[in-house]
């Protein structure tokens, strides 16, 4: 027999998807990371559900990344087991062959393919270590660019950065919970107390909120920060151990698909408490791609502008980020289990939540604008 749970005043409204109040669960007219570039191997298919749609990625003629819907138009066979032959996707059931634009180009039993025989084609771009996919309307793809991540070392135009690619985690929880998580780093002192030794104190410093256009930033600024050797920052930024620096622990919202956590950025200290020249920048970049309303692909890379050849450092950073993210995923999956019964109106926030609440409002406004456009069409 199930035990009734008292949810107090947290009662979900039918038009509400916790914690957002809109009938679309996350912004859709966006570019998201569909895969790491390294996952897309020539001659192989990669099946992935994105925004509830079954998508299949493959490399077409000349190795170009492409993405199409993953159900053959003939008898709806999933194309996961399809073969790539001469850059075409061939259905495993009766052999219909599709080109990289999703159009059926060959029917083995003869006759010209119907002009209606085509898979949905998703706009795709490759930049940095990612294959980006546009999940919105076809027309919208030309109006919005992929997020510009040049300043954190993640575009083909970035120079002087080293990137370490972490595991793609599958999170059985809705994407906005991850946004909440990343914008309230005070949880480091609790969830990650063992895996990030020495970082909890920094994360408890009152954050400052800053907005430039669509770029939201929550920052914790520490003049006279001295890293100790036996802490996670001391281990991963050895050049600042024992000397006072100006440290900035930043969370930056680039788009609904990308949130960066600096780990931290260290600057020279000038005039006693001001930032001078940059000494080193470390970034944990979180790539959020909704799989369904209740599940998320969680990609992650670590970029740094120092010690490019230190492979041991890269390995330690990846081990760190994977351990920390697994902890986050485990806890967020706990919230997901009850989220459908909750309402954001039932939450009681504190001063430190200002940034995350502003980001939520921003997400809500993006969703509302998307819905207004589709209603007008």
**94 neighbors 116 (Cβ within 8 angstroms):** no
Q: Does 94 bind ligand FES (CB under 6 A)?
A: yes
Q: Within 320-349, which residues bind Fe ion (CB under 5 A)?
A: 328
Could you give the CA distance from residue 152 to residue 303 in angstroms, rounded to a whole number? 7
Could you give the CA distance from residue 307 to residue 286 in angstroms, rounded to a whole number? 22
Q: Which of 24, 37, 54, 74 binds ligand FES (CB under 6 A)?
A: 74
Could you give the CA distance from residue 193 to residue 305 in angstroms, rounded to a whole number? 27
Give least dist CB 54 to ligand FES, A.
14
Could you give the CA distance from residue 299 to residue 261 in angstroms, rounded to a whole number? 14
Could you give the CA distance from residue 252 to residue 356 in angstroms, rounded to a whole number? 11
Nearer Cβ to ligand FES, position 82 or 275?
82
Q: How far apart, in Å, are the Cα atoms of 150 and each of 128, 154, 161?
A: 9, 5, 10
Secondary structure class of 123 (helix, strand, coil) = coil
The closest alpha carbon to 124, from 41, 43, 67, 44, belongs to 67
Q: Does 120 bind ligand FES (CB under 6 A)?
A: no
**32 neighbors 50 (Cβ within 8 angstroms):** yes
Neighbours of 318 (CB within 10 A): 17
Give least dist CB 83 to ligand FES, A.
12
Structure tokens at 16: 């509400």
Q: Does 81 bind ligand FES (CB under 6 A)?
A: no
Q: Does 71 bind ligand FES (CB under 6 A)?
A: no
Give least dist CB 374 to ligand FES, A.
31
Give least dist CB 38 to Fe ion, A.
25
Give least dist CB 93 to ligand FES, A.
4
Give least dist CB 362 to Fe ion, A.
21
Which of Fe ion, ligand FES, none lies near 94, with the C-beta cut-off 5 to 8 A by kind?
ligand FES
Q: Does 72 bind ligand FES (CB under 6 A)?
A: yes
Nearer Cβ to Fe ion, position 252 or 328?
328
Nearer Cβ to ligand FES, position 72 or 177?
72
Q: Which of 17, 33, 89, 91 binds ligand FES (CB under 6 A)?
A: 91
Could you give the CA distance from residue 79 to residue 68 in angstroms, rounded to a whole number? 10
Q: Which of 32, 36, 96, 306 binds ligand FES (CB under 6 A)?
A: 96
Q: Does 75 bind ligand FES (CB under 6 A)?
A: yes
Q: Does 291 bind Fe ion (CB under 5 A)?
A: no
**92 neighbors 85 (Cβ within 8 angstroms):** no
Q: Which of 47, 77, 189, 318 binds ligand FES (CB under 6 A)?
A: 77
**119 neighbors 128 (Cβ within 8 angstroms):** no
Q: Does 180 bind Fe ion (CB under 5 A)?
A: no
Q: Which of 93, 209, 221, 331 binds ligand FES (CB under 6 A)?
A: 93
Tell me 140's DSSP state.
G
> Which window, 67-75, 208-216, 232-240, 362-370, contacts ligand FES (CB under 6 A)?
67-75
Give least dist CB 339 to Fe ion, A.
18
**322 neighbors 177 (Cβ within 8 angstroms):** no
The closest alpha carbon to 328, from 152, 183, 154, belongs to 183
Secondary structure class of 96 (helix, strand, coil) = coil
Which of Fe ion, ligand FES, none lies near 31, with the C-beta cut-off 5 to 8 A by kind?
none
End-to-end CA distance of the chain: 48
Enumerate binding residues for ligand FES (CB under 6 A): 72, 74-75, 77, 91, 93-96
Enumerate binding residues for Fe ion (CB under 5 A): 328
């Amino acid at each position: 027999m199930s035990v009734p749970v008292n949810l107090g005043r947290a009662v979900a409204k039918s038009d509400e998807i916790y914690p957002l109040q809109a009938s679309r669960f996350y912004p859709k007219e966006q570019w998201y990371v569909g895969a790491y570039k390294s996952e897309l191997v020539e001659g192989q298919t990669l099946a992935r559900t994105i925004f509830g749609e079954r998508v299949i990625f493959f490399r077409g003629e000349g190795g170009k990344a492409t993405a199409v819907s993953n159900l053959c138009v003939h008898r709806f066979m999933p194309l996961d087991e399809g073969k790539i032959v001469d850059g075409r996707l061939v259905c495993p059931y009766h052999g219909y062959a599709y080109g990289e634009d999703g159009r059926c180009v060959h029917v083995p039993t003869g006759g010209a393919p119907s002009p209606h025989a085509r898979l949905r084609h998703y706009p795709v771009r490759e930049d940095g270590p990612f294959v980006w996919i546009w999940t919105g309307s076809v027309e919208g793809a030309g109006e919005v660019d992929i997020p510009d991540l040049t300043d954190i070392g993640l575009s083909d135009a970035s120079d002087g950065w080293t990137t370490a690619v972490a595991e793609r985690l599958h999170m059985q929880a809705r994407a906005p919970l991850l946004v909440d998580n990343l914008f309230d780093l005070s949880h480091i002192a609790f969830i990650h107390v063992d895996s990030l030794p020495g970082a909890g104190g920094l994360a408890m410093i009152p954050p400052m909120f800053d907005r430039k256009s669509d770029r939201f930033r929550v920052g914790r600024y520490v003049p006279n920060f001295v890293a100790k050797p036996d802490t996670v920052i001391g281990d991963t930024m050895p050049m600042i151990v024992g000397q006072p620096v100006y440290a900035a622990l930043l969370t930056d919202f680039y788009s609904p698909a990308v949130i960066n956590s600096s780990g931290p950025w260290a600057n020279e200290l000038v005039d006693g408490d001001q930032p001078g020249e940059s000494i080193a920048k470390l970034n944990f970049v979180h790539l959020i791609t909704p799989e369904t309303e209740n599940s998320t692909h969680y990609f992650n890379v670590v970029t740094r502008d120092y010690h490019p050849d230190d492979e041991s450092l890269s390995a330690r950073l990846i081990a760190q980020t994977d351990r920390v993210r697994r902890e986050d995923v485990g806890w967020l999956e706990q919230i997901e289990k009850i989220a459908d019964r909750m309402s954001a109106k039932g939450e009681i926030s504190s001063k430190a939540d200002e940034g995350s609440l502003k980001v939520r409002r921003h997400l809500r406004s993006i969703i509302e604008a998307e819905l207004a456009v589709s209603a007008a069409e």
